[in-house]
């Protein structure tokens, strides 16, 4: 669930369905991953940023907006459509989402990739360990004062704010890496009027799978001492199923989707991160791979088209950069823009 490692391109489609019981054996991965997550480390402060109420232009050319919300002011980084188009692509961060920027803008080449496209890129800032969900209450284990209400922000408050800049409230796509991957599919499932495409890169798209709730619990505790029970309640609570794209697959029928995960095998892109991070990234990606396959089998059994790729790589940003490059033409086609 951390944003410390990801994927590439190519691979296995949902139509190439494997027997579900073969992936149930992958449950053993979960227990090992829980232990790995406990050692991934590196908490980041999660306060919403405070800034001016007018757009600021960054050194990299995108604008920084401050958007009012029920959680307080939220910074949103925006690269405007090349030719004034109304469509938008929302890009969701990983579990360690920093408080001062969205990692898509610093750890990938997505700004350049879409620079000539007639689609606005929207990068929400903050929300680490939030799963971009509406929580029941503030986390009771780390002094959080205001409950996360990220679904409300992303589907009500932010679209209304961007509409004042000419951005459509309906012609949008949403993608995410790691924590943001499952959230992207879940948001699209419950807000089909807003999103016309959804993509998950190394996302955990089946959180109700046995023991995976404990993996989420361990990851959120490690990343900011957040209490998962304050997010979705204990395992078995309806909020878990509501935020599980595999369970909610029927709601995704007819939506263009791209789900990608790595095979856990490290490559040259992992070298700069060091051996320790790479080992963690391999374990995390094994879990993401199992989830992607289960999701692929589920949508295939329902006759729902989706592209599901299992590619080379681990749970790291350079692989997610490759994933967004693969997804780009799908996104533009779904939005009908160039």
Catalytic residue among 87, 139, 178, 260: 178
Averaged pLDDT for residues 21-44 = 36
Residue with tokens 């803008």: 105
83-116: per-residue pLDDT in tens?
Answer: 999 999 999 999 999 999 999 999 999 999 999 9
The string of pLDDT tens digits covering residues 205-215 is 999 999 889 99
Mean pLDDT of 216-230: 96
In the prediction, which pLDDT does 44 show?
Answer: 28
Q: How far apart are the first and last CA of the chain?
A: 32
Give the tens place of pLDDT for each residue, 263-322.
998 888 887 887 878 888 888 899 999 999 999 999 999 999 999 999 999 999 999 999
Confidence (pLDDT) at 271:
78
What confidence score (pLDDT) does residue 57 get?
Answer: 52
Q: Region 1-13: what's the mean pLDDT?
A: 35
Question: In the chain, where are the structural domains located?
Answer: 20-335
Q: What is the pLDDT of residues 120-140, one digit of tens each?
A: 999 999 999 999 999 999 999
Buried b / exposed e along 236-247 (16+ C-beta atoms within 10 A): eeebbebbbbbb
Mean pLDDT of 172-185: 98
- Does the domain spanning 20-335 belong to CATH 3.40.50.10330? no
Model confidence at 14: pLDDT above 80: no
CA distance 177 to 115: 20
Buried b (16+ CB within 10 A) or exposed e, 93-103: bbbbbbeebbb
**Model pLDDT, residue 268:** 85
Q: Please tell me the predicted confidence (pLDDT) of residue 25.
A: 39
Mean pLDDT of the chain: 85
**What pLDDT score does 60 carry?**
60
pLDDT digits (tens, 9 = 90+) for 43-84: 222 222 222 234 445 546 799 999 999 999 999 999 999 999
Mean pLDDT over 167-192 rounds to 98
DSSP 289-337: HHHHHHHHHHHHHTT---EEEEES--SBHHHHHHHHHHHHHHHHHHHT-
Q: What is the mean pLDDT of residues 7-25?
A: 35
Least confident of 5-19, 104-118, 145-159, 214-228: 5-19
Alpha helices in 20-101 (DSSP H): 20-24, 27-38
Q: Hey, is 178 helix, strand or coil?
A: coil
Question: Would you state the torsion angle of the CA atoms of residues 189, 191, 196, 199, taken in this order, to the nearest 10 degrees?
Answer: -50
315 is catalytic: yes
What is the percent of the chain where pLDDT is above 90? Answer: 74
């Amino acid at each position: 669930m951390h944003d410390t490692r990801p994927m590439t391109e190519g691979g296995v489609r949902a139509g190439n369905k494997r027997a579900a019981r073969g992936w149930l054996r992958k449950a053993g991965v979960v227990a090992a991953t829980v232990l790995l997550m406990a050692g991934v480390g590196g908490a980041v402060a999660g306060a919403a940023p405070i800034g001016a109420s007018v757009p600021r232009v960054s050194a990299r050319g995108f604008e920084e907006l401050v958007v009012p919300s029920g959680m307080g002011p939220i910074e949103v980084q925006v690269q405007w459509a090349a030719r004034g188009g109304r469509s938008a692509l929302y890009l969701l961060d990983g579990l360690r989402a920093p408080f001062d920027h969205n990692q898509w803008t610093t750890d990938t080449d997505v700004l350049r990739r879409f620079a000539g496209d007639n689609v606005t890129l929207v990068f929400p800032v903050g929300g680490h360990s939030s799963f971009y969900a509406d929580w029941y209450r503030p986390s009771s284990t780390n002094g959080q004062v205001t409950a996360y209400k990220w679904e409300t922000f992303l589907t009500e408050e932010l679209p209304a704010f961007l509409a004042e800049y000419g951005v459509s409230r309906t012609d949008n796509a949403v993608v995410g890496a790691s924590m943001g991957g499952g959230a992207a599919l879940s948001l699209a499932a419950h807000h089909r009027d807003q999103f016309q495409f959804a993509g998950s890169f190394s996302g955990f798209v089946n959180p109700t799978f046995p023991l995976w709730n404990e993996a989420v619990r361990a990851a959120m505790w490690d990343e900011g001492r957040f209490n998962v029970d304050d997010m979705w309640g204990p395992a078995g609570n309806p909020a878990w199923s509501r935020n599980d794209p595999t369970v909610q697959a029927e709601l995704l029928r007819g939506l263009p989707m791209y789900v990608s995960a790595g095979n856990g095998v490290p490559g040259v892109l992992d070298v700069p991160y060091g051996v320790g991070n790479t080992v963690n990234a391999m374990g995390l990606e094994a879990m993401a791979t199992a989830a992607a396959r289960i999701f692929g089998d589920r949508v295939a059994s329902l006759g729902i088209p989706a592209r599901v790729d299992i590619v080379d790589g681990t749970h790291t940003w350079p692989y997610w950069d490759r994933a967004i490059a693969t997804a780009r033409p799908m996104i533009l086609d779904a939005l009908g823009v160039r």
